[in-house]
């Protein structure tokens, strides 16, 4: 499939040809209507250069030819003593050729970046399977914002897994970027989807996730891929919505930012917990023994309250003065003005817009916002 970056479009139609055409006409008219002491016809060499920056290859080539023809026509209107002559004609011709070649390089570079972005989007769509808005008795919404426009995919991951022991939720962030981070995220999600369905105890699911990190790093080491890939770890939050306690949520934290609970009565941040990131305990003990899983903690969660989970791209987003994004304060103000903001889709939209506005669109890390509550939470 062709990849093209569309520049200067109005109502779906390209108008990239307008600036170089206006410049060409302006130079020609100015040269004809000024005196012999102000000959600017050789400035036409700028026209294919402008076209090379915003038009396609064929458009640039057309403007290169038009520039040469216009130069010859305008220069011939002057008496021989005032003509710019052959040297400037060669300059305009050479400028058109170089501009066309430069446009070829630019377009190929754009196509390469767009292919990388498409590949990254395909990889993420494969790892992060699409989720129905209501699934497993939960209502949820999520937003993923990549930090790197050149398609260096990161390791943010999330999923919901319904099962006979209740619905489980996992959100996390693998340290680092690139395909190595995506590989670990995919391994953790695969383990979560199986263990989250089959295992009755959330502690066992947590143990399986830790074991998966150890096995994954061992596999990477056996492949001869040392360095960062064998030292990766992941922060994560593991949730369970027990069917026998509908007003509670169980939580296991692996060194991740604690969830924020938003509801009509305000905002509260759950305690951070003392669990180590997945894989970090193994590194600290030298692999001598698997670390004990962090404790499962149970918290009250009303029917109209929403859990907001984020990766550190949200809490570490900075403005021009280096101030971090005030997540809890922002959500608190929004809920005070409109309690309906606690609805998952509205909550993630609020945080998304706030982070982008606060950071002026310059994200330092991949950013994920995930809001979830029981589907009978009520409200629109």
The pLDDT tens digits of the residues spanning 216-256 come to: 888 888 887 766 667 788 999 999 999 988 899 999 999 99
- Contacts of residue 79, defined as CB under 8 A and 6 or more positions apart, other chains included, come to none
Give the end of a domain, one of 85, 119, 153.
119
Specify whether 302 is located in the same domain as 360. Answer: yes
- β-sheet with 266-269: strand ranges across: 134-135, 138-145, 367-374, 306-310, 260-263, 266-269
Specify whether 31 is located in the same domain as 157. Answer: no
Of 344 and 265, the structure prediction assigns the larger pLDDT to 344
Specify whether 113 is located in the same domain as 153. Answer: no
- Quick check: 117 pLDDT over 80? no
Specify whether 161 is located in the same domain as 103. Answer: no
Mean pLDDT, range 248-268, rounded to an integer: 92
Tell whether 170 is covered by a domain.
yes
State the average pLDDT for the chain. Answer: 85
Contact 233, 302 (CB under 8 A): no
Specify whether 69 is located in the same domain as 189. Answer: no
pLDDT tens for each residue of 317-373 = 888 888 999 999 999 999 999 999 999 999 999 999 999 999 888 887 788 999 999
Q: Which value, to the nearest 10 degrees, does the dihedral of the CA atoms of residues 317, 323, 327, 333 take? A: -140
Tell whether 127 is covered by a domain.
no
Among 66, 250, 239, residue whose Cα is nearest residue 168: 239
Specify whether 84 is located in the same domain as 176. Answer: no
Specify whether 80 is located in the same domain as 228. Answer: no
Q: Burial letters for 271-291: b for 16+ Cβ neighbours within 10 Å, e otherwise?
A: eebebbbbbbbbbeeeeeeeb
Q: What percent of the chain has pLDDT over 90?
A: 45
Give the end of a domain, one of 68, 90, 119.
119
pTM exceeds cut of 0.75: no
CATH code, domain carrying 214: 3.60.40.10
pLDDT confidence tier of residue 139, bands split at 50, 70 and 90: very high
Specify whether 142 is located in the same domain as 94. Answer: no
Tell whether 2 is covered by a domain.
no
Specify whether 244 is located in the same domain as 352. Answer: yes
Alpha-carbon Rg for the chain in angstroms: 29
Residue linked to tokens 């770890």? 233
Specify whether 355 is located in the same domain as 277. Answer: yes
Specify whether 180 is located in the same domain as 258. Answer: yes
Tell whether 217 is covered by a domain.
yes
Tell whether 4 is covered by a domain.
no
Specify whether 65 is located in the same domain as 184. Answer: no
Tell whether 18 is covered by a domain.
yes
| Domain limits for position 201 | 132-374
Residue 106: CA count within 13 A, CB half-sphere: 20
Of 199 and 32, the structure prediction assigns the larger pLDDT to 199
């Amino acid at each position: 499939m062709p990849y093209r970056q569309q520049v200067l479009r109005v109502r779906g139609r390209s108008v990239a040809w307008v600036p170089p055409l206006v410049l060409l006409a302006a130079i020609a008219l100015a040269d004809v209507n000024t005196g012999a002491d102000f000959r600017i016809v050789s400035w036409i060499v700028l026209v294919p250069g402008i076209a090379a920056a915003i038009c396609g290859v064929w458009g640039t080539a057309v403007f290169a030819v038009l520039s040469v023809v216009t130069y010859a026509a305008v220069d011939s209107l002057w008496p021989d003593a005032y003509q710019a002559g052959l040297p400037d004609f060669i300059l305009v011709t050479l400028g058109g050729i170089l501009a066309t070649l430069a446009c070829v390089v630019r377009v190929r570079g754009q196509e390469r970046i767009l292919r990388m972005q498409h590949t990254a989007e395909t990889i993420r769509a494969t790892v992060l399977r699409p989720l129905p808005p209501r699934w497993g008795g939960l209502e949820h919404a999520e937003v993923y914002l990549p930090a790197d426009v050149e398609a260096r995919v990161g390791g943010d991951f999330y999923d919901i897994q319904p099962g006979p022991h209740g619905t489980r939720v996992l959100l996390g962030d693998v340290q680092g970027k690139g395909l190595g981070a995506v590989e670990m995220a995919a391994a953790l999600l695969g383990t979560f989807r199986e263990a989250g369905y089959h295992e009755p105890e959330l502690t066992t699911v947590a143990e399986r996730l830790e074991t998966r990190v150890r096995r994954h790093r061992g596999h990477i080491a056996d492949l001869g891929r040392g360095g960062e890939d064998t030292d990766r770890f992941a922060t994560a939050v593991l949730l369970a919505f027990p069917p026998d306690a509908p007003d509670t949520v169980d939580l296991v934290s692996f060194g991740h930012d604690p969830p924020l609970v938003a509801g009509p009565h305000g905002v509260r941040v759950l305690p951070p917990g003392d669990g180590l990131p997945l894989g970090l305990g193994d590194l600290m003990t030298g692999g001598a023994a698997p670390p004990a899983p962090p404790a499962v903690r149970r918290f009250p969660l009303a029917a109209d309250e929403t859990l907001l989970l984020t990766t550190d791209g949200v809490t570490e987003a900075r403005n021009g003065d280096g101030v971090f994004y005030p997540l809890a304060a922002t959500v608190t103000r929004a809920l005070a003005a409109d309690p309906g903001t606690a609805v998952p889709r509205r909550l993630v939209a609020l945080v998304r817009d706030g982070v982008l506005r606060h950071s002026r669109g310059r994200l330092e890390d991949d950013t994920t916002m995930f809001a979830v509550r029981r589907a009978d939470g009520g409200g629109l």
